[in-house]
Amino acid sequence: MALTFDLDRAWRVDPRVSLRPEPFGALLYHFGTRRLSFLKNQTVLAVVRSLDGHPSARAACLACGVTEAELPVYARALAALASSNMISERTPHDTRA
Amino acid sequence: MAEVPTTALPTTGHEAETDALASDELLVEEVSIDGMCGVY
């Protein structure tokens, strides 16, 4: 199943998600869906945590040191998080929880 | 019994993470805990 993700939109961690950093990366738990997600490295954790501080997911990735060559891998990761509602698109009316 | 020396875990630098990435690498793994015993 191919996951598509728009890197050029603004995203944020869903307010119903609890994020717990771990040595391997992080655990995300969605209180609404009861799903767990594991982030497998510190860089993808940094990207996810910084999403709401950047105008786009691409900007967040680049700010966290992701190279252009690595962007597809991180886009797939973000797509997986979006498909499980761990992250959602940010609108101008969203306020940080 | 001789003790097995413990080694410190290597620091996870960005370079190390970069080297480990492959084109089909999945950085996110998902689990559903519905139905798991003992989970509230």
8 A C-beta contact, residue A13 and residue A87: yes
Distance CA B19, CA B12 (A): 11
Test A81 with B12 for CB contact under 8 angstroms: no
Residue A91, pLDDT score: 85
pLDDT at B19 over 50: no
Q: Would you give the distance in Å from CA A35 to the centre of its chain?
A: 15
For chain A, the average pLDDT equals: 92
- For A69-91, what is each residue's pLDDT tens digit? 999 999 999 999 999 999 999 98
Chain A residues contacting B, CB < 8 Å? Answer: 23, 25, 34-44, 65, 67, 70, 72-74, 76-77, 80-81, 84
Give the distance from residue B4's alpha carbon to the nearest chain A alpha carbon, in angstroms. Answer: 23
Band of residue A4 on the pLDDT scale cut at 50, 70, 90: confident
Q: What is the pTM of this model?
A: 0.76
